[in-house]
Amino acid sequence: MPTPPSTTAARAAAERLAGLAVPAGALGRLGELAVWVSSVQGEVPPRPLEGVRLVIFAGDHGVAGHGVSAYPPAITAAMVRTFVAGRAGVNALARAHGVGVRVLDVAVDADLSDLPAEVGAHKVRRGSGAIHLEDALHPVETTRALEIGRRAAHEEVAAGAQLLLSGDMGIGNTTPAAALVAAGLGLDAEEVVGRGTGVDAEGLRRKTAVLAAALARAGRRADDPVETLTALGSADLAATVGYLLAAAEAGVPVLLDGLMAVACALSAERIAPGTGAWCVAGHRSPEPAQSLALAHLGLEPLLDLGLRLGEGSGAVAAVPLLRSAVALLRDVAQLDDLLPDEG
Ligand SMILES: Cc1cc2ncn([C@H]3O[C@H](COP(=O)(O)O)[C@@H](O)[C@H]3O)c2cc1C
Ligand SMILES: O=C(O)c1cccnc1
């Protein structure tokens, strides 16, 4: 279990915030955010956030062959190549905001061995199982995927990361991610299903049926969070869970993205209660399952832009807000220091 963020630092940060040369409460959520950064860093004022790193976990999903996405599975491998080339949506945002990007092929159903070796060095399998028909993974693969994600986080922390973001790439992945949320919160398919890349009414019906069949197939196995990953998740989602678990254990804060990141944070919280305290929510996705999971974790997203891209984009877009919060609590004078001494 992760140790909680420092309450001593949070108290001292709240005191510093209350004394700033601004009207009480005028910094709104930026003030709260600055206090949170202090508490996860254990430092007042908080340190400027250097080493902000995004790891994108890529993989294919058997359900993508069953009409649950508006796009074909071949997009997954093409987008992995695009991340490596620096030309995806999240690359543009990451360059604008000084965020380092790394992509890992955990379970893409394609041969990407021509890409730099580190991309596919820990590939678990080619595609995860179609969860309405079969388990996503063999239990040994779940363990391996969790370990790959943990290792990625440890490597980033060892290289100096002070804030970690996770990204996703995989056509069809909003289906297993919604299944993780349904399993974690005891909800039905209809309550968690969303349009993902933009399926039409017929697609939404198919996706709901796939989700309902998957949840029925998993049955009581959904009561156990690791079994849930095996039955209803995927290798790339399990790796993301491992990444979030390791970040919290290392005491490194996490900025969450959309549905996949938040479904994995919910899974991580089920495995190791307290993980969510190390997370802040970057944005609200239109996917209902993301809002349901955020509410359960007690997280209120910073941005609400109608963004439904994934890749870590909503987290990267929120990085300037975290940096703004830190700058305010570090650099603004104390009101008492501006006033002439009395007496
Ligand atoms: C060109 C393109 C780039 C993307 N980047 C992220 N996603 C996002 O959309 C997919 C999930 O939605 P669904 O479950 O409906 O397939 C994932 O690949 C996710 O990363 C993309 C999707 C497309 C088509
Ligand atoms: O919530 C997300 O991050 C999301 C939604 C739709 C498609 N891809 C990602």
Question: Which percentage of the chain shows pLDDT scores above 90?
Answer: 98
Q: Where are the domains of the chain?
A: 7-47+327-338, 52-320
- The CATH number of 52-320, from 3.40.710.10, 3.30.1330.40, 3.30.160.110, 3.40.50.10210, is 3.40.50.10210
End-to-end CA distance of the chain: 53
Q: Of ligand 2's atoms, which has the minimum distance to the CA of residue 308?
A: 5
Checking if the pLDDT of 343 tops 60, the result is no
**Whole-number Å distance between alpha carbons of 139 and 250:** 25
Checking if the pLDDT of 167 tops 80, the result is yes
pTM value is 0.98
Report pLDDT for 126: 98
Among all bound ligands, the one having the nearest atom to the CA of 87 is 1
Residues in contact with ligand 2 (CB, 6 Å cut-off): 174, 196-197, 257-260, 285, 287, 290, 308-310
Q: What's the whole-number average pLDDT of the chain?
A: 98
Which of 57, 68, 71 maximizes ligand 1 atoms within 8 Å of its Cβ, making it the mutation to test the pocket?
71
Q: Which residues pair with 128 in a beta bridge?
A: 61
Helices 174-185 + 225-232 axis angle, to 10: 150
Nearest-5° Cα angle at 183, 178 to 186: 110
Q: 3-class DSSP state for residue 29?
A: helix
Cα of 198 to ligand 2 centre, how many Å? 10
Q: Of ligand 1's atoms, which has the minimum distance to the CA of residue 174?
A: 14
Does this chain's domain 7-47+327-338 share its CATH topology with 52-320?
Answer: no
Cα of 119 to ligand 2 centre, how many Å? 22
pLDDT in tens, 42-70: 999 999 999 999 999 999 999 999 999 99
**Whole-number Å distance between alpha carbons of 75 and 98:** 26
Max CA distance (Å), the chain: 80
Q: Of ligand 1's atoms, which has the minimum distance to the CA of residue 78?
A: 1
Report pLDDT for 1: 87
Task: Extract the tokens encoding 247.
Answer: 């970040």
Question: Which percentage of the chain shows pLDDT scores above 70?
Answer: 99
Instruction: Give the burial class of 73: count Cβ atoms within 10 A of its Cβ; 0-12 exposed, 13-18 middle, 19 or more buried.
Output: buried
Tell me, what DSSP letter sits at residue 1?
-
- Which stretches within 219-312 are classed as H helix? 225-232, 235-250, 259-271, 288-297
pLDDT in tens, 183-210: 999 999 999 999 999 999 999 999 999 9
CATH topology of domain 7-47+327-338: 1.10.1610
**Whole-number Å distance between alpha carbons of 279 and 14:** 19
pLDDT in tens, 78-118: 999 999 999 999 999 999 999 999 999 999 999 999 999 99
Which of 68, 192, 308 maximizes ligand 2 atoms within 8 Å of its Cβ, making it the mutation to test the pocket?
308
Give me the active site residues, please: 311
Quickly count: other Cβ atoms within 10 Å of residue 187's Cβ: 17
Closest residue by CA, ligand 1 atom 4: 309
**Whole-number Å distance between alpha carbons of 247 and 57:** 15
Which of 259, 294, 305, 313 maximizes ligand 2 atoms within 8 Å of its Cβ, making it the mutation to test the pocket?
259
**For range 296-302, the mean pLDDT:** 98
Q: Of ligand 2's atoms, which has the minimum distance to the CA of residue 197?
A: 7
**For range 295-317, the mean pLDDT:** 98
pLDDT in tens, 209-234: 999 999 999 999 999 999 999 999 99
**Whole-number Å distance between alpha carbons of 195 and 258:** 13
